Amino acid sequence: MKCNMQVDDNGLRIRIDEVEGQEETLLEAMRHCRQSAWACPSGECMNIGTMEGRSADGSVFLTLTPRPGAQLDPAGIEECMRYMLQGVVKL
The second-level CATH assignment, the architecture, of 2-85 is 2-Layer Sandwich (3.30)
CB atoms within 10 A of CB 5: 17
Residue 76 main-chain phi, psi, to 5 deg: -70, -40
Per-position pLDDT tens, the chain of length 91? 889 999 998 899 999 999 999 999 888 888 877 666 556 778 888 888 999 999 999 999 999 999 999 999 999 998 888 888 887 776 5
Say if CB 71 and CB 8 are below 8 A apart: no
Q: Specify the pLDDT at position 28.
A: 86
pTM: 0.85
Closest CA to 78 of 8, 15, 10: 15
